[in-house]
Amino acid sequence: MAVVGYRNGIAILQLIVFPIVLVAAIFIWKRTGWRVGSKIWRYAVTLSLIRIAGSISSLLTISNDSYNIKVAVVVCQLIGIAPLLLTFIGLLRQIDVEKRMPPRPMALLTLVTIIALILGIAGVSSSNGEGGTYRPGKLAKVAMGIFLAVFVIFVLLSGWLFHELSFSLRRFQKKLFLAIALSVPLLAVRLVYSAISDYTTLSAFALNGNTTIYLCMDVLEEIIAMGITMALGISAILETDFVRLTPVTQEDTEPKPMAARVSSSV
């Protein structure tokens, strides 16, 4: 009879939490607008789907320990950093209704993160592990370096934007900034865990290393950070002063509060 292990229990936890995150992210995405919101909230949806798929794959290994399922578990576990970072970069877009941040550098930051994701996937595919185990190669290490740089830039941008808007913050912006402030330490721990795993040979931080360290420095960080972000995100979009972003056009380049949109359409 198959036995449910410690890691399988973590997979069950993720399978309970991330469908809730998925529903919350879709709700926020719908409220902010499918078109403009896609640049922000689709990444939270993507992360949730990756974690759900990874959890299912992990549970499948209980009764079917095939190589393909192992690869699916590894890929889902390792590629979550990109959509996690992009979710929080997207929060800055949601906050910046006055277009203080230049759009091209933000688009470039997103593109660089996606390139790192591709490098990470390629690094998994070209893993130089022995006996079916995963050991990060050069591509994976390069990808990790890019993720660390993106995180530092994100923190600096967050501080700069808060300084720029500090005297004119709306209630919904304060809540989104709070989500960032509370999540940054968690993201830092999550990235440190992955960096140690990629750049050192410490067995405790290997892919199948110490499960408690994996739970406390990886899984719980993501769960808590996304839980905070979804809760404050929903609260922010329900604020009366919430500004719904609109595509930039020649006729109308100024985003309008939701209340104003409703009144103007009556």
Number of Cα atoms under 13 Å in the Cβ half of residue 112: 19
143, pLDDT greater than 60: yes
Q: Where do the domains of the chain lie, and which CATH numbers do they carry?
A: 6-246 (1.20.1070.10)
| C-alpha–C-alpha distance, residues 7 and 57, integer Å | 12
Q: Report helix angle 138-165 to 171-199, nearest 10.
A: 160
Q: Which residue has the higher pLDDT, 251 or 167?
A: 167
| C-alpha–C-alpha distance, residues 238 and 84, integer Å | 23
| C-alpha–C-alpha distance, residues 189 and 148, integer Å | 11
Confidence of residue 127 (pLDDT cuts 50, 70, 90): low
Q: Report helix angle 220-237 to 42-60, nearest 10.
A: 150
Q: How many other CB atoms are there within 10 angstroms of residue 30's CB atom?
A: 12
183, pLDDT greater than 80: yes
261, pLDDT greater than 60: no
pLDDT at 234: 96
pTM score = 0.86
Mean pLDDT value across the chain: 86
pLDDT at 133: 59
Q: How many other CB atoms are there within 10 angstroms of residue 85's CB atom?
A: 26
Burial of 129 (0-12, 13-18, 19+ CB in 10 A): middle
Mean pLDDT value across residues 94-103? 89
Q: Which residue has the higher pLDDT, 62 or 25?
A: 25
The closest alpha carbon to 135, from 127, 144, 145, belongs to: 127
Report residue 72: phi and psi, to 5°.
Answer: -60, -40
Q: Report helix angle 6-32 to 220-237, nearest 10.
A: 20
Return the percentage of the chain with pLDDT > 90, whole number.
Answer: 57
Q: Which residue has the higher pLDDT, 103 or 211?
A: 211
Give the rounded distance of the alpha carbon of 91 from its chain centre: 11
Confidence of residue 257 (pLDDT cuts 50, 70, 90): low
185, pLDDT greater than 80: yes
Of the listed ranges 4-13, 147-156, 176-185, 222-231, the least confidently predicted one is 4-13
Of the listed ranges 181-190, 222-231, 237-246, the least confidently predicted one is 237-246
Mean pLDDT value across residues 236-252? 75
pLDDT at 145: 94
42-70 residue pLDDT tens? 999 999 999 999 899 888 887 777 767 77
Confidence of residue 264 (pLDDT cuts 50, 70, 90): very low
